[in-house]
Amino acid sequence: MKQLFKTDYVIYNTKKNEPCFYEDSKAIVIFGLKEDAESECMFDIGEIPILCTDLPKHWQNLLLQQINN
């Protein structure tokens, strides 16, 4: 079983209280580097890069299901 690592980032939309998803699959987008996540953020609409382990628990659980499937 795979687990979440403190070295992986997601883009979190603070206004919607949800991570960013791929449009075609509705999977959460994961980045290996903070800089990569930052470069994709749209800060003006409330997106910020955060560690995947800092996501609220229900989003962490969804991400764990995603990476273990």
pLDDT tens per residue, range 2-53: 899 999 999 999 999 999 999 998 899 999 999 999 999 999 999 999 999 9
pLDDT band at 69, cuts 50/70/90? confident
CA distance 30 to 22: 10
Residues in the chain: 69
In single-letter form, the type of residue at position 42 comes to: M
Per domain, the residue ranges of the chain are: 9-67
Q: What is the pLDDT of residue 9?
A: 98
β-pairing verdict for 18-19 and 47-51 = unpaired
Q: What is the pLDDT of residue 48?
A: 98
Q: What is the pLDDT of residue 64?
A: 95
